[in-house]
Structure 1
Amino acid sequence: MSRHFSEDRVASFLVSQKYRILDQNVVFPTGEIDIVALKGRTLVFVEVRYRKNFDAAETVDSRKLERIMQCAYLYTGGEQSYRIDVFACGPQGCHWYKGVRLDGCCESVEWVNLW
């Protein structure tokens, strides 16, 4: 399964959940943001990880989160608050980690089947 296939499925899912997709695959010198979405007044930066043989969430460490936060800062110009979500996907579906913080904790986790 290609990286963009997973990202496209997540983007479609977010649209079904009343998110508006603003951008995809935005590249900055410090990294890339897979999906930028808006729900109500909440700006959400989404990282999509797919791994066939192990937990994709393991690939999002504090260094990766710092890069996402740097990209989010550049995207907003430092003028807007935001949330970071991670979709950790595998052959059976995805865990949706909402509101991921630098310490690895998050506001909530939800299982979604996108395939």
Structure 2
Amino acid sequence: MTARRIQAERRGHRGERLAAWWLRLHGWRIVGERLRVSVGEVDLVARRGRTVAFVEVKWRATAAERDLAIDARRLKRVARAAEALAPRFARDGEDIRIDVLLLAPRHWPRHIANAWQP
């Protein structure tokens, strides 16, 4: 792995840790982290009441980059992974959604609830 890739991984881990704390402060309980399946991966799985959120986290250097960090292709990949993982985390009758948490230094996180609606 290159030094650049290692740095990107470290920033990604840091962003996920910060996102998990932010979600906890807003009443969510983290029930899964960095889950990989054959069709994709989910950064965080959070639960609040009867809602399970599969959360994609993006960390960028600036707010402008942060706001452009997610697109339909990435969301679709997360949605496929969430579909594969849902039986492990959600019970019958619970709400399942895909959220995005966008982070940048010195800026409040941007939380997009229910970001994927096929």
Same fold flag (TM > 0.5): yes
Counterpart of 1:18 in structure 2 is 27
Q: List alignment gaps of at least 5 residues for structure 1.
A: 104-115
Larger strand percent:
1
Larger radius of gyration: 2
> Equivalents in 2 of 1:57, 1:38: separation in Å?
25
Is residue 99–residue 116 contact of structure 2 (8 Å, CA) maintained in 1?
A: no
Partner of 1:101 in structure 2? 116
Deviation at 1:51, TM superposition (A): 1.0
| Among candidates 88, 98, 107, match of residue 84 of structure 1 | 98
- For the aligned residue pairs, the C-alpha RMSD in angstroms reads 2.0
> What percentage of aligned pairs have identical amino acids?
28
- Pairing partner for 1:65 from 75, 99, 106: 75
- Secondary structure of the residue aligned to 1:6 is helix
TM-score between both structures, scaled by the size of structure 2? 0.77
Unaligned 5+ segments in structure 2 are: 1-9
Question: What TM-score does the superposition give when structure 1 sets the normalisation length?
Answer: 0.78
Distance, in Å, in 1 between the alignment partners of 2:114 and 2:58 is: 16
Question: Going by fraction, where is helix more abundant, 1 or 2?
Answer: 2
Please tell me the residue identity of whatever aligns with 2:66: A
* Number of residue-to-residue matches in the alignment: 103
Specify which of 45, 49, 54 is matched with residue 58 of structure 2. Answer: 49
